[in-house]
Amino acid sequence: MRRILAVVCLVATLVATSPAAAAPRYSDWTAGAFLSAVNTPELEFANAISKNGLSFYFQRGNAAISGEDIWVVQRAATDAPWQTPQKLPASINSTSNDRAAFESPDGHWLFFASDRPGGRGGFDLMVAWRPQTHAGPPDFGWQEAVNLDSLGSTINTPGFDSGPTAFEDESGRLQLYLVSNPAGPQNLSVDIYQAIQNANGSFGSPALVGELSSAFNEGRPYVRHDGLEIYFNSNRPPGSTVQADLWVSIRATTTDPWSAPQIVRVVSTTATEITPVLSWDASTLFFASNRTGSGGEIFFSTREKLTGKP
């Protein structure tokens, strides 16, 4: 009997300390509040937020009319108001469309997408580096951006590549997620891919993430800093096949497959919700929506961590 009880206790201990059991649990997301500090009559779409939560990147403009540029808005503390947005310098923005910026966890690299001349396809992934992570305007310390493949990566395709996001795995290397249609344009059979950073810092060829992709269009994935939760937009059913909704998937460890994606309830409405951005502490979700009748404005939703580690 004692042996049986000991086995039961051991199993209970292993379950309680397993990655799945230790995974954080959160409250539901709030419906979303208007991010007045960045919204204008122009189109705005969420891009990324820095690890310290003090720099929020977004794109402004219309790709078909005025072109898109990457902007940043900063604040002195996470409970301080956002300051006046600043357009990133010419080392980042070009006369073409520049979008979907993502700051690396260490703050030294800025990944984004651009359809500027000289790339492999319609949109390619670009990257810029800065030696100091706390540089301010006008250049914010960013050096001249280059095509990611020029640094030895094999990311970009003749088609559409955009929406980079990444987390740092246990080995210290970045696992990069993106959306791609290797043989065609945007908004046509776009899927989610993953590329692993090599020892020399370059990235290998992207592999399709089948459990997150569908026959419909997927857009801008955004992975939590521990690699255990990912958000993206999609027009797959049972959501709207005309508009787009936010979807989420989780996993117990970074080597497990992703769970079946679920619609992010409350945040997703009958309008379009796209370009999700998750804060480092996973308590704030930024996104773009046309719910007010505009083409695109940025909102933010919040939740509370109930149990588990962040």
Is the pLDDT score of 245 beyond 80? yes
What structural domains and CATH numbers belong to the chain? Answer: 28-307 (2.120.10.30)
What's the pLDDT at 310?
55
Is the pLDDT score of 107 beyond 60? yes
- The residue among 24 and 112 whose pLDDT is bigger is 112
Over residues 304-308, the mean pLDDT reads: 87
Q: Omega into 85 within 30° of 0, i.e. cis?
A: no
Is the pLDDT score of 72 beyond 60? yes
pTM for the predicted model, two decimal places? 0.91
What is the residue type of 11? V
Distance in angstroms (rounded) separating the CA atoms of residues 248 and 128: 29
What's the pLDDT at 185?
84
pLDDT confidence bin for 67, thresholds 50/70/90: very high
272 token code pair: 């379009």
HSE on the CB side for 33, CA within 13 Å? Answer: 8
Distance in angstroms (rounded) separating the CA atoms of residues 155 and 147: 10
Over residues 3-25, the mean pLDDT reads: 40
Over residues 170-178, the mean pLDDT reads: 96
In 3D, which of 265, 306, 280, 298 has the Cα closest to residue 223? 280
State how far the alpha carbon of 196 is from the alpha carbons of 27, 44, 171, in Å.
32, 30, 11
Q: Give the lowest-confidence range in 55-59, 96-100, 212-216, 293-297.
A: 293-297
Give 274-296 pLDDT, tens digit per residue: 999 999 999 999 999 999 988 89
Is the pLDDT score of 13 beyond 90? no
Over residues 207-214, the mean pLDDT reads: 98
pLDDT confidence bin for 8, thresholds 50/70/90: very low
The per-residue pLDDT of the chain, averaged, comes to 91
- The residue among 127 and 294 whose pLDDT is bigger is 127
Is the pLDDT score of 227 beyond 90? yes
What's the pLDDT at 295?
85
pLDDT confidence bin for 47, thresholds 50/70/90: very high
What's the pLDDT at 23?
62
Residues in the chain, overall count:
310
What's the pLDDT at 25?
87
What's the pLDDT at 5?
32
- Residue 156 contacts residue 178 (beta carbons within 8 Å): no
Q: Omega into 238 within 30° of 0, i.e. cis?
A: yes
What's the pLDDT at 30?
97
